[in-house]
Structure 1
Amino acid sequence: MKKAFAVVMLAVLLTVTACSNQGESKKQAGVKELTMWSMETRSRDTIEQSIKEFNDTHPDIRLTAEFFEDEALKTKMKVAIAGNQLPDIITYWSGETFDTLVSTNMLGDITDKLAQDAEFKDNVLPGGLDTFTYEDKTYAIPVLFSGVSLWYNKEIFAENGLTPPATYDELLSVVDQLNAKDITPITIAGKERWPMLHWFSYLAQRVGGTEPFEKAKNGEADFTQDSFVQAGEMLRELAIDRKGFVNGFLGLDYAAAESLFVNERAAMYLQGEWAMEAFLNDEFAEKVGFVPFPAVDGGQGSINVYQGGFGVGMAISSKADQDAAYTAIRFLSSPEQRKEIYEGANISPMKNPGLDDSKMHPLAYEYDKSISDNLEGFFGYYDQTLDARRADQFLDLMGAIVGQSSNDVKEELAKIK
């Protein structure tokens, strides 16, 4: 028994030693381990294939990735920030959280590396790198451009003699005509709150341009400026007085709201390019058209300024091996590696993304080209651009405006501080 026990222990000891030696051998070989967090769950298969190719072609670096749905990643990031424990690479939204990462020195400065990578740097669309630049230092490579548009059912419009609205007055007229025929004008996920914020922020921009928001965001003014008050009153008129939104919209979640449009039970739907994911592979896509958010008569905001922008970037931790991490994000963000992503329901942030339109759905190609040809500028999502407190206050504001007609819009806006 003692001899048998000794033999077993010797075998265990030899196994442990072998594993330890393998680990030491790996360290001696100089293999750098990198971890990545990403919210691009829809593109996971493509990205994982790119990671495999990267690992195969970079034997001195080994990259592993975890993918999270939006809210799960936001929660995980709060914990990581509190403990100063970021992964080596993160794909994250621009806005307040990203600002915090920069101001607390948690992200690596990639300015010099981009300067030495001129061909790649010059291929990024104007404004792309600026979105992730602070005090002349750049901290991320944009990987997506986003633009919110008004999608509409071409068949419903044609059958009812309607023209896609170019102005807000025209939109209200379309709403009235659809209601008169018992057709739901607009579907929206009121339960989620942020889709209603799309309507409010677009109205505010079309009325007053982007300057009022920039002043309020920076504390130079508050949100009781005329453009915000007018936007709230216009939204209330649309939702309550004109019954523009689907009945019961305040209890509708994203999937239910999307389903109403896809199943042709609503004529219009205000969403970003990601909405195409729900219908690109369906015959319904042939019935879908889009227009920019309508202009407001007498307003200062251009119809070709989109809500969205370069909302997602790939950054590296200041604690990561800077050379290895930059090598990885440069590879993963290249047009060649993301080509398949941009040929779907996404918009490339590159001037020359190398897309093959023969492999793209006509609607996706048309949308991508329309924005590239007409884009004059963009403004960010309020709930991502503002600090967390004011973002939540704005989301709550939406229910207060469209849920109770007795609430004073200006008084509600004054609560955002």
Structure 2
Amino acid sequence: MKKGFIALLALMMMLVAACSNGSNQPANSGGSGGGASNSGATQLTMWSMETRNKEIIEASIAEFNAQNPDIQIKAEFFEDEALKTKMKVAIAGNQVPDIITYWSGETFDTLVEQNMIGDITDFLNEDAAFRDDFLAGGLETFTYDERNYGIPVLFSGVSLWYNKQIFEEQGLTPPATYDELLQVVDQLNANNIIPIAVAGKERWPMLHWYSYLAERIGGTEPFEKAKNGETDFTEESFVKAAELLRTLAVDHKGFVNGFLGLDYAAAESLFTTGRAAMYLQGEWAMDGFLNDEISEQIGFVPFPTVEGGKGSVNVYHGGFGAGMAISSKTNQEAAYKAIRFLTDPAQRKAINEGANISPMKTPGLEEANMHPLAYEYDSSISTNLEGFFSYYDQALDAKRADQFLNSIGAILSEANSNIVEELAKVKK
């Protein structure tokens, strides 16, 4: 009887414990639907690759959590490749985190196509002032079938950086056209000054030069058609771009001698130590400029135009490379409230006052808080941006991206290489 009584008492205690649990959802541990914790708050797990801005973002999260006791964010930060690996596992298991900061492109498209990312169009439409403050193409980067699935967190743009002291001493003006660029290169070479630092060993810096020339000649349409398989990369604008690049880099010796064996650090050092006059790179290169005395000597201009070309000087190579999105399975209102707070210009102000470009037209930057070069660059982009075109090696599938990198390398390294034949190798 005693054993029976103990068993009955244990059963009753289990029933009471079950009845006392007021929630049917477990605490969220990433993509489980924004579950409630024991305190009743909605728990949101966030993954981000913005490790460089970790402290700033964590401060914003702490502020949000304090202001919203009913919604709590827990963030995890990963280096690029680590996050890509985690996302592959998450996609396979259909368990993406409640909030994610991720790159635009193929993987993001997959998330949308498989209904893993939440549609935030209606939320944005109710917040028109915020929605309409993005630079041209920002929200469109994360739009599919006229519905929006992400909020851009940064803009990336490649410009032609130049050494103002060298140009002044040589009586040169920063080139606005390709022909002017050749003239500048010739004069620099005549005075034994390295015209352009290029990391040819890395391959992609050479592709920046080629991509810009192709856009300045034919505009953005030829690439989009070739990418989609409607044409190929032997179309006239692509061939002409390769010819102009070879003329600049090889015939006029615009690129530093031995550029094909030069890595990124070595090429950057040539420019930051004042040995090379020009350097084509994105805003990320400012990390190597801002804390150095050389920063006072550095200026920038958009990539030059090509006579008779269709491309605009204010269309930049780059784009809105990363955005913040929410899982389709999570608490949509809570998650959107969180990313709206975290992407607000006021919360990302400290990030955008560094070596970054805000995706907003009115980012609220304070010149007094910024390095003069960073403020000038960010302001220039915000004021003049007309559009952008994607990095070729990111916009294409992995196979064609590698083929393109190889073909441009061959065109510049082999004087007798056939340009059309090399470009024809870029195919699915």
Q: Which of the residues 54, 71, 75 maps onto 1:61?
A: 71
Q: Percent sequence identity over matched residues?
A: 73
Separation in 2, partners of 1:109, 1:55: 24
Q: For the residues of structure 2 that align with 1:327 and 1:96, how far apart are their CA atoms?
A: 26
Instruction: Please state how far the C-alpha of 1:131 moved relative to its aligned partner.
Output: 1.4
Q: Distance in 2 between matches of 1:159 and 1:201?
A: 31
Aligned length: 397
- Work out the CA distance in 2 between the residues paired with 1:123 and 1:282: 33
Computed over aligned residues only, the root mean square deviation of the Cα atoms, in angstroms, reads 2.2
1:238 to 240, 248, 251: 248
In the TM superposition, residue 109 of structure 1 has moved relative to its aligned partner by: 0.9
Pair 244,373 (structure 1): closer, same or farther in 2 beyond 3 Å: same
Report the Cα distance in structure 2 between the residues aligned to 1:357 and 1:389, rounded to whole angstroms. Answer: 44
Structure 1 residue matching 2:276: 3-state secondary structure: coil
The aligned residue for residue 307 of structure 1 is: 317
Q: Which range moved further: 165-174 or 100-109? A: 100-109
Aligned residue for 1:318, secondary structure, equals coil
Q: Is the CA contact 1:96–1:388 (under 8 Å) kept in the aligned structure 2?
A: no
Question: Is 1:179 matched up with 2:189?
Answer: yes
Cα distance change, pair 140–356 in 1 and its aligned pair in 2 (3 A): same
In the alignment, the residues of structure 2 paired with residue 235 and residue 35 of structure 1 have an alpha-carbon distance, to the nearest angstrom, of: 47
Residue in structure 2 matching 1:336, options 346, 361, 366: 346
User: Pick from 45, 48, 65: which aligns with 2:58?
Assistant: 48
**In the superposition, relative to structure 1, how do residues 190 and 82 fare at CA in structure 2: closer, same or farther (>3 Å)?**
farther
Match of 1:169 in 2: 179
Moved more, 134-143 or 273-282: 273-282
- The residue aligned with 1:13 is none
In structure 2, which of residues 403, 407, 423 is the aligned counterpart of residue 393 of structure 1? 403
Structure 2 equivalent of residue 206 of structure 1: 216
Amino acid at match of 1:39: M
Q: Decide whether aligned partners of structure 1 residues 191 and 32 sit closer, same or farther in structure 2, where only a CA change above 3 A counts.
A: farther
Partners of 1:244 and 1:300 lie apart in 2 by 24
TM-score, length of structure 1 as denominator length:
0.89
Q: Deviations over 1:46-78 (max 9, x none)?
A: 112112222222223332323333344344434
Conservation of the 8 A alpha-carbon contact between 1:146 and 1:273: yes
Which has the larger displacement, 83-92 or 165-174? 83-92
The structure 1 residue matched to 2:302, chosen from 288, 292, 299, is: 292
User: Structure 1 residues 62, 393: closer, same or farther in 2, change over 3 A?
Assistant: farther
Mapping of residues 255-334 of structure 1, within 5 Å: 255-334=265-344
Letter of the 2:333 partner, please give it.
D
Q: Which residue of 2 aligns with 1:382?
A: 392
Cα contact 1:94–1:385 (8 A) shared by 2: no
Query: How far apart, in 2, do the equivalents of 1:242 and 1:169 lie?
Result: 12
Aligned CA distance change for structure 1 residues 187 and 80 (closer, same or farther; 3 Å)? farther
Is the 8 Å Cα contact of residues 46 and 74 (structure 2) preserved in structure 1?
A: yes
Higher helix share: 1
Deviations 1:132-186 (A, max 9, x none): 1110110000111222110000001111222111111111121122222222111
Counterpart residue number, 1:405? 415
Distance 1:348 1:330 in 2: 15
Match 2:238 to one of 220, 228, 241: 228
Q: Tell me the secondary structure at the aligned position of residue 27 of structure 1.
A: coil
Counting only pairs closer than 5 Å after superposition, residues 12-51 of structure 1 correspond to structure 2 as 27-51=37-61
Separation (CA, whole Å) in 1 of partners of 2:302 and 2:425: 31
Give, as a single letter, the amino acid of the residue that structure 2 aligns with 1:349. Answer: P
- 1:154 pairs with 2:164: yes
Aligned partner (choices 119, 132, 135) of residue 122 of structure 1: 132
Instruction: Please tell me whether residue 195 in structure 1 is matched to residue 205 in structure 2.
Output: yes
Q: Cα offset for 1:251?
A: 2.7
Partners of 2:332 and 2:197 in 1: CA distance: 46
Task: Say if 1:331 and 1:337, in contact at 8 Å, map to a contact too.
Answer: yes
The code of the aligned residue for 1:366 comes to E
What one-letter code is carried by the residue in structure 2 that aligns with 1:411? E
**TM-score (structure 2 length as normaliser):** 0.87
Amino acid at match of 1:289: G
- Match of residue 73 from structure 1: 83
Change (3 A) 1:227 1:72: farther
Mapped contact 2:118–2:325 kept (Cα < 8 A) = yes
Kept after mapping to 2: 8 A contact 1:95/1:386:
no
Q: Distance in 2 between matches of 1:203 and 1:68?
A: 35
Counterpart amino acid of residue 78 in structure 2: F
Distance in 2 of aligned mates of 1:73 and 1:410: 38
Decide which of 88, 104, 107 is 1:94's aligned counterpart.
104
Shift of 1:90: 1.9
User: Is 1:103 equivalent to 2:128 in the alignment?
Assistant: no
**TM-fit CA distance, 1:130:** 1.3
Aligned partners of 2:259, 2:364: CA distance in 1, in Å?
Answer: 41
| SS of 1:49 mapped into structure 2 | helix
- Gaps (5+ residues) in structure 2? 1-16, 28-35
Q: For the residues of structure 1 that align with 2:278 and 2:212, how far apart are their CA atoms?
A: 16
Instruction: Report the AA paired with residue 256 of structure 1.
Output: A
Letter in 1 for 2:306: V
1:136 to 141, 146, 149: 146
Q: Structure 1: which 4+ aligned runs deviate by more than 3 Å?
A: 68-85
Distance 1:109 1:368 in 2: 30
Indicate the residue corresponding to 1:366 in structure 2: 376
Deviations 1:278-299 (A, max 9, x none): 1113221110011110111121
Contact 1:125 1:351 in 2 (8 A): yes
The one-letter amino acid paired with 1:264 is: G
How much has 1:214 moved relative to structure 2? Answer: 1.3
Structure 1 Cα separation of the partners of residues 369 and 47 of structure 2: 29
